[in-house]
């Protein structure tokens, strides 16, 4: 079974001009878009995740490597896009800082490495022993990594103290405004 985690910055409110915000967000996120997937229906939702019956809600499409302009053109109101972005030097700094500043006995083999953006209405939840609902987000910036900390509560406490994590959050707030945070794992 794969284990992964996400350090997430999110907002629950929709902007007045979502297409413009999405374009601005992608432009500050990295040099290029690695992949984009979009849901078939307007909302995938907590109900589907909780029932683990997502097959009937398969992705509308999945596309690899494209320009930011092409990714923005895929946006549709009330549809959720999941975009993998080349986070470049920012994600390299975040990854290294988490390895150096969070002790191995807390983090084990987990450190965020990849950058994903969930844009459009979607639910955030942790799928560990049971599903834990976090929030109905409009936009979530996800610092993703494989693995799982050995001490989840301590990791959650420490990760949001890492200066590079604080800087990354502030970076995204320049486009998204004030952001909530959470750290979740899927095991």
Q: How confident is the model at residue 55 (pLDDT cuts 50, 70, 90)?
A: very low
pLDDT at 58 over 80: no
Q: Quote the CA–CA distance of 129 and 106 in Å, as a whole number.
A: 20
Average pLDDT (3-17) is: 95
The better pLDDT of the pair 171, 57 is held by 171
Yes or no: say if 99 and 173 are a contact pair by the CB < 8 Å rule. no
pTM for the whole thing?
Answer: 0.87
The better pLDDT of the pair 54, 11 is held by 11
Q: What is the pLDDT, as a whole number, of residue 77?
A: 84
pLDDT at 174 over 60: yes
Residue 162 — left, alpha, or beta (φ > 0 → left; ψ -120 to 50 → alpha)? beta
The better pLDDT of the pair 1, 120 is held by 120
Q: Which of 93, 96, 84, 99 has its CA nearest to residue 142?
A: 84
pLDDT at 45 over 80: no
Q: Quote the CA–CA distance of 24 and 98 in Å, as a whole number.
A: 27
The tens digit of pLDDT for each residue in 72-129 reads: 999 988 888 999 999 999 999 999 999 999 999 999 989 999 999 999 999 998 876 6
Looking at every residue in the chain, the average pLDDT score rounds to: 87
Query: What are the boundaries of each domain within the chain?
Result: 4-186
DSSP string, the chain: ---EEEEEEEE-SPPSSHHHHHHHHHHHH-S-EEEEEEESSS--HHHHHHHT-GGGG-EEEEEEEE-HHHHHHT--TT--EEEEE--HHHHHHHHHHHHHHS-HHHHTT----EEEEEEEEEEEEEESSSEEEEEEEEEEEEEEEES--S-HHHHHHHHTTSHHHHHHHHHHHHHH-S-EEEEEEE-
Q: How confident is the model at residue 136 (pLDDT cuts 50, 70, 90)?
A: very high
The two tokens of residue 146 are: 């494989």
Residue linked to tokens 């909530």: 180
Q: What is the pLDDT, as a whole number, of residue 3?
A: 87
Percent of the chain with pLDDT over 90: 67
DSSP-assigned beta bridge partners for residue 144: 6, 114
């Amino acid at each position: 079974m794969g284990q992964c985690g996400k350090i997430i910055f999110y907002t629950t409110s929709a902007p007045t001009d979502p297409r413009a915000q999405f374009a601005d967000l992608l432009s500050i996120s990295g040099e290029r878009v690695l992949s984009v997937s979009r849901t078939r229906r307007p909302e995938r939702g907590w109900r589907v995740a909780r029932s683990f019956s997502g097959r009937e809600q398969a992705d509308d499409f999945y596309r690899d490597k494209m320009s930011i302009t092409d990714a923005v053109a895929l946006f549709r109101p009330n549809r959720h896009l999941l975009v993998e972005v080349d986070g470049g030097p920012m994600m390299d700094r975040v990854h290294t800082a988490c390895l150096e500043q969070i002790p191995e006995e807390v983090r084990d083999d987990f450190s965020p490495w990849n950058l994903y953006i969930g844009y459009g209405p979607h639910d955030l939840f942790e799928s560990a022993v049971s599903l834990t609902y976090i929030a109905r987000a409009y936009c979530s910036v996800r610092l993703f990594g494989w693995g799982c900390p050995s001490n989840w509560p301590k990791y959650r406490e420490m990760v949001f103290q890492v200066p590079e994590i604080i800087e990354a959050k502030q970076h995204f707030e320049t486009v998204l405004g004030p952001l909530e945070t959470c750290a979740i794992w899927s095991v």
